Homo-oligomer: A and B are copies of this chain.
Amino acid sequence: MGKVPVGGGAPLALQSMTCTDTRDVRATVAQIRELEEAGCELVRVAVPDGDAAEALGSIKRQISIPLIADIHFNFRLALEAIRQGADGIRINPGNMKRDGLRKIVAAALPAGTAIRIGINAGSLEKDILRKHGRPTAAALVESALRSLVFFEEMGAESLKLSIKSSDVPTMIESYRLVSRRTRWPLHLGVTEAGTILHAAVKSSIGIGVLLAEGIGDTLRVSVTGHPCEEIRLAWEILGALKLRRRGPEIISCPTCGRCEIDLFRLAEDVEKRLAGLQEPLRIALMGCVVNGPGEAAEADVGIAGGRGLGLLFRRGKPVRKVREADFAEALMREIAKMTKDKKET
């Protein structure tokens, strides 16, 4: 996909989608740059009409990550997107005629444009839906394989497949089934996952279960909200599974009747101060002496709090006692030193 390798053992690539009007080049470029900053590696834009398709070239020239055009119904928009230099297009064979799909492949081949076949529970072929009654995993996989065969027969060389459903068990089952039937790269996502907390839960389970099984090459967390939240969540998922990490991991205890420091405030404070950091540090904020020192020993740096006073740790070794008011500041100083040390070695 442009200069980002996808599939064949390449690192998982994170995708998001702009929510700007694609015809508004300035707003779209600004949002894509924000997304790049947040760690987005592939960006998709909606292309609902000719003007949006024609804006792609200008957008592409102003950004540094691969650009994917999201196209439905009208194959001519895909042809224009390819002409404009889009690195990939995403189409849904469920809402396009065969003849149009043939023209898309014919144009994509010489241009080297990647094609994602996006199967979606909301737009299955009518005969498949009739046969299965509902958009079950088997129905989604039948639709996906039918499309893959069609594209392969036309000689398509750069394909990717996604099977999205807002139903997590269906999504998991579909990808499991299809991963045994094809070697093309898979793009993971739970569609229409809702606002951020709902999306976090659904996507973490759906995408997380599959990634833990080694299934998936690119992914998008879908959030009803700002697309940067999608990227933030996507990195959280990869970090939790230790597949890739960007920025610090903060381990903080849930607090209980045993906690004698204001841990909520400390956690929020430290999170805010570290928002820009890309270093993959593990930072422990522990409210008490029960599990604190043990957990903090596993972290790169940590505080195990006590009454008004805490112990600062660095890679398992106590550094010094710190007053509660100075916890955040002491941690920041220690982190700054560690980041500096790392750069120098």
Residues of A at under 8 Å CB distance from B? 17-23, 28, 45-48, 52, 70, 72-73, 92, 95, 120-124, 134-135, 166-169, 172, 191-198, 200-202, 204-206, 208-209, 212, 222-225, 227, 230, 232-233, 236-237, 240-242, 250-259, 263-264, 267-268, 271, 284-286, 290-295, 298
Contact between chains at B237 and A201 (CB < 8 Å): yes
User: What residues of B have a CB within 8 angstroms of the CB of A241 in the complex?
Assistant: 168-169, 205
A–B complex contacts, Cβ < 8 Å, 21 sampled:
A19-B254, A19-B257, A45-B256, A46-B258, A48-B257, A121-B298, A122-B293, A122-B295, A124-B294, A166-B298, A169-B242, A191-B291, A192-B254, A192-B286, A192-B291, A192-B295, A197-B236, A201-B208, A202-B240, A224-B255, A224-B264
Taken together, the copies of this chain in the complex come to: 2
Contact between chains at A254 and B223 (CB < 8 Å): yes
Distance, CA A95 to CA B120, complexed state (A):
52
User: What residues of B have a CB within 8 angstroms of the CB of A73 in the complex?
Assistant: 290
Distance, CA A19 to CA B123, complexed state (A):
47
Contact between chains at B254 and A222 (CB < 8 Å): yes
Contact between chains at B257 and A22 (CB < 8 Å): yes
Most chain B CB within 10 A, of A28, A45, A208, is at A208
Contact between chains at B257 and A45 (CB < 8 Å): yes
